[in-house]
Every structure is written in structure tokens, then in C-alpha cells.
Structure 1
Amino acid sequence: MGSQAELVVDARCGTGESPVWSVAESALYWVDIPGRALHRWSAAGHTQWASDEMPACIAPRADLPGSWIAGMESGLFSLTPQDGGTLAATRLAEVSHARPGMRFNDGRCDRQGRFWAGTMLMDMAAGARVGRLYRHDKGSLAPSLQLDDLIVPNGLAFSPDGRTMYLSDSHPGVQTIWAFDYDTATGTPSKRRVFVDMNPLPGRPDGAAVDADGCYWICGNDAGQVHRFTPEGRLDRSLEVPVKKPAMCAFGGPKLDTLFVTSIRPGGDLSDQPLAGGVFALRPGTQGIPEPAFDG
């Protein structure tokens, strides 16, 4: 394995999202949003569990090992895999969406264990700026609204020291990545600025990860590439995957030096990308950092 992508699981996910490497289990977890499923892959094989609502983003729970916090359709849930391929779901918080037909999208924890997640209108073509970004703190009864006026919030990530927050909007009419100063004590972003304008670059900015060098990796949806940007916003390199719609990336493996990439399987003729919806692995020559757990 090198810069050439290798197929890990021919999962055929409608929208494979939110890959998270479990260091304790040496396993990769991710979700299929329209497939309503949580997936797990390790050297022992591939397992999945069915969900009643569409899960969009997940993070491990520090207080309940083996369980996950998830942004879904109607709010935030705690999910626990069960024997028989089902998930025990407990609602942690409801969310009053701006309008019907919305769900959560991209999300993850900051370095202090607060869960961040954005919402979007599922009819992406409408281009409605009703998306919102929320933060859910330990002991909170409901997530707090942090940003609005978004279409498809995506690309959430935090620098290794936690003091910079990244956010993208992957809608074709926006295609922008922003950086914020981040107050690690209060969980407050400020000084929003354009980090990268993706409009002249290949692909729309989708899900992201940060490596140990502080560089920001983001999937170029529609372009079949994963891009690495330096902390200054300079395009450092681009790696190819054999599908058009890579969705999100995450570092994993025993040394956290494997970049796993989930993808989308669109409808229509897939003769030129039969592996769409699969999970791929790259060796980019850099290491990631462990994903924080939700401190609930």
C-alpha cells in the first residue's frame, strides 16, 4: 500500500460517512446515511448494525465504552451495537430544525470532548441556507446553536492543539473552507476567515481530517481526490481514489499512518466506478492523531 488507493471494504454505501478509527479495538467504524447503518471493519472482518433513523456523524463515548454519540435526523442519540445486527438507540437531545426535511450531516468532537455537528436540508439542490452548526457539551439538555446561514456544513476538524477549528460548506454554490480561532476553555469559535476557496480546485470540499503536522486533509467530492492543505492554506498534495465521490477521510491503523476514505455510491451507470460506496486506504506518508471521545 502506498499513495495508490486500496479497497478495504466493497461496502456499496449510499453515502459512506464519518469514519472513526478505534485505537482500543484496532477497528474502523463509519456510517451509511441513507442505508441507516453503522459499520465496523477490522482484521477479523466487516460487521454492520441497522438503525431506525439515518445516522450522519458519530464519535465514541468516553463514559460508555462501545457506545457512540450520533447526529441523526431528529436529534442526537447514543447508539450501542447489539447482537443480531441492531442498534440500541437512546435520544440524548432533540433539535428543532429550521424546516422539515432536514437531518444532521458532518460532525465530530473537539479536543476537549465536546460534540460538534451541522444540519442540512436533504434536498441539497434547493440551495436553502437553513443549515446550522451546533455544539453539545457534557451534561447539556440540548445542543447550542453556534452558526447558521449554511447550506451543507461539512469538513469539521480541529488543529492538533485544538486552537483552530475548520468548517466547510460543500454546496456547489459555496465550496469554501473556513478557519476559526477556537477558545478551548469555552468551546467558542471566533475570527472566521476563508482558509481555502475550493471553487478553482478539483472537487467540492466534503469530510476532513487533520494530521499530526497540523495539515488539513479534505475529500474532493466529484473529483475522486483527497487534498492536503498546510496550516497556511496552501495545497500540498492531492491523492486519487478510484471513485468520483470520496466523502470523508480518517487516519487509522496501528501507527495511525493509514488514511481511510469512505465514499458515495450514486445512482445511474457505475461502469466507470464499480467500487463506488466502498472504503479505501492510502499511505500518505504522515500520521494522524487519535480521535477524541465525547465526554458525556
Structure 2
Amino acid sequence: MERVSGVSCTVGESPTWSAAEGAWYWVDIPARRVWRMDGSTGAARYWDNAEMVACVAAKAGGGLIAGMESGIFSLSLGAEQTAAALKLATPAAGLGEGMRFNDGRCDRQGRFWAGTMFMDMSAARAVGQLYRYDAARGISAPFVSELLTQNGTAFSPDGRTMYLSDSHPQRRMVWAFDYDIADGVPSNRRVFADMTKEAGRPDGAAVDADGCYWICANDGGYLLRYTPEGKVDRRVEVPMLKPSMCAFGGKDLDTLLVTSIVSGKPEDAEWGGSVVLLRPGVKGVAETLFGA
């Protein structure tokens, strides 16, 4: 396991690998930053933003698509320290005070999926919703509602299964859906993993080439790999208490980058908020660029 040097995030989230650039991207939500690390040199830099950036995916032609505080944005990352942001869409009903986007990623066809949450988790307001965005149709009506803390969005290698988690302490669930790859519509929601008995809550996730679902166990200090049948077959300990999301990348897609959140606990002082790279012995699936 290797720690990314010189990087510490308050709430590190949404890692993604850009094969075209040979680079990793991730965000630090409260810092309003997008980070980039060159996969060859390890050199890292960041861009500031006017709003909190919660999730990102690489776009065809360069730049990122992002779920932020007030909507879906296109981000251009140039020589300046601040990203150039262009708002693409806002949900028809708006986001409401105290809301923002949270977890998101593209499906295998290049459509962007992102969900919303009420930022004060202690309020336990089930007002989060899951949306789809594509350039041709814009932002959808919500496909899933009454979420406390939307998370864990991922797609099987063939794109025909969509995964979604709710990481709130009162939920701790992962669901699977059948996914219509032609229309981009999920259906047949069912429980995939009940994590109410786990020490960690289900946070961000990734899918490997075997079709297994890797979920970060936030508050537990480990990752779990679930088979497509919903059975745990691996547990990987990490040095930070609150791993937040993982993503496969690197030249051979055999590296897992894991972001984390500062817990404030003394035992987590050294590693909380760090970003680490590990080799789990399996390969991931290349992410589809938005609009590809």
C-alpha cells in the first residue's frame, strides 16, 4: 500500500481514472477542490471552485462533469488555480436549502448519474434523490427518492446492473437494479447487501472485471468485495478509519485508489484524510467518458 504524498483531504471523495490522460482525479468536498495526480510521476495539484464539488467524471474531449451544490456543471481545468465552471442543469424542483449533490459516476454508455443529500446528516432527512443527466435529454426526473445519504453508484461490467447505497447510519443498505442500457432506466430494485451489522457504513464503490462490487466501509477502516450474488468474499483493511470511495485505474487497471475522510479521532490522526494506492490482485473496468 502506498500513500499519495503531500495530499490530505477533509472529505476526500469521487476518485476516477482518466486513461486518456494517465491521471487520477478526486475531490475534497468542503475545501471546494478538485485534485489531479499524474499516474506516472505522482505529481499532484488542485483547482479551487466557487461551490463544493461532490462527484466528478471525465468528459469526452477533456475536462470533467461534476455534481456540485446547485446542479450539474462542466469543469475546465487549465493553468489557473480556479476551475472554469459552466452550469449544465439543475433538477426541475431545485435542490433546496441545505442540499447538494453527493456521489456520482457515468454508466457504461456515458450518461452521468448523481444523487442529492441533505448536508446535515444528523437531521436524518430522507429527501435525497437520484438523477440521470445526458446532453441530449438533460436532467431526468428523480429515479429514486427518499434517500438519506445517497452513495455507492456503480455499474456491472456489461452495464446491465446498477448499484446504489445509502450510507446514513440509519440505513446502511446497498441495492441492485436491472438496468436498461438502451434507455438508461433502472428497475426491479432489490436489496443487494445489508450492512447494518457491519462496523462500517457503505460509502463509495467500484466494480472489478469479475463483476464484483467493492464498497468502502466508512467508520470501519476496511473495504468489502461482494460477488455478483451479494456474498462477501474479501475484506481489505486500510489504515484510515473512514475510507470514502475507491476506483480502479493505472495503466493496467490493477491499482485501487482509495480516498478518505478526517474522523477527528486520535487513533486516526496520522491517516485520516489520506489518499492511498493498493494492488488488490484483480483488475477493474475502464470508466466510460461522459458523452462518449
Pairwise same-fold verdict (TM > 0.5): yes
Point out where structure 2 has 5 or more consecutive residues left out of the alignment: none
2:88 to 65, 83, 92: 92
Asked whether the 8 Å contact 2:254–2:279 carries over to 1, the reply is: yes
Q: Which moved more, 1:171-180 or 1:98-107?
A: 98-107
Q: Tell me, in whole angstroms, the C-alpha distance in 2 between the residues paired with 1:75 and 1:143.
A: 12
Q: Which runs of structure 2 are paired with 1:1-296 in the superposition (5 Å)?
A: 5-42=1-38, 43-44=40-41, 45-62=43-60, 64-65=61-62, 67-95=63-91, 96-97=93-94, 99-266=96-263, 268-295=264-291
Q: Tell me, in whole angstroms, the C-alpha distance in 2 between the residues paired with 1:209 and 1:232.
A: 16
- Cα distance, 1:269 vs. partner? 4.4
Q: Which moved more, 1:269-278 or 1:175-184?
A: 269-278
- Cα distance, 1:30 vs. partner? 0.4
CA deviation profile, 1:77-121 (whole Å, cap 9, x unmatched): 000112131100001012334531000000000001110000000
Q: Tell me, in whole angstroms, the C-alpha distance in 2 between the residues paired with 1:102 and 1:9.
A: 32
Q: Tell me, in whole angstroms, the C-alpha distance in 2 between the residues paired with 1:203 and 1:30.
A: 22
Output the TM-score relative to the length of structure 2: 0.96
Q: Tell me, in whole angstroms, the C-alpha distance in 1 between the residues paired with 2:280 and 2:270.
A: 24
Q: Secondary structure at the match of 1:144?
A: coil
CA deviation profile, 1:32-60 (whole Å, cap 9, x unmatched): 10010000112330110001100001111
Q: Tell me, in whole angstroms, the C-alpha distance in 2 between the residues paired with 1:275 and 1:18.
A: 18
Q: Tell me, in whole angstroms, the C-alpha distance in 2 between the residues paired with 1:276 and 1:91.
A: 32
Q: Percent identity?
A: 57
Q: Tell me, in whole angstroms, the C-alpha distance in 1 between the residues paired with 2:17 and 2:84.
A: 21
Asked whether the 8 Å contact 1:10–1:278 carries over to 2, the reply is: no
Aligned partner letter, 1:104: F
- Cα distance, 1:281 vs. partner? 1.1
Computed over aligned residues only, the root mean square deviation of the Cα atoms, in angstroms, reads: 1.3
Q: Are the structure 2 counterparts of residues 119 and 9 from structure 1 closer, same or farther at C-alpha, using a change threshold of 3 Å?
A: farther
Q: Are the structure 2 counterparts of residues 150 and 232 from structure 1 closer, same or farther at C-alpha, using a change threshold of 3 Å?
A: same
Q: Secondary structure at the match of 1:145?
A: coil
Q: Are the structure 2 counterparts of residues 163 and 97 from structure 1 closer, same or farther at C-alpha, using a change threshold of 3 Å?
A: same
Asked whether the 8 Å contact 1:182–1:189 carries over to 2, the reply is: yes
Point out where structure 1 has 5 or more consecutive residues left out of the alignment: none
Q: Are the structure 2 counterparts of residues 119 and 147 from structure 1 closer, same or farther at C-alpha, using a change threshold of 3 Å?
A: same
- Cα distance, 1:265 vs. partner? 1.4
Asked whether the 8 Å contact 1:69–1:77 carries over to 2, the reply is: yes
Q: Tell me, in whole angstroms, the C-alpha distance in 1 between the residues paired with 2:98 and 2:215.
A: 27
Q: Secondary structure at the match of 2:162?
A: strand
- Choose between structure 1 and 2 for higher RCO, CA contacts under 8 A separated by at least 6 residues: 1
Asked whether the 8 Å contact 2:131–2:139 carries over to 1, the reply is: no
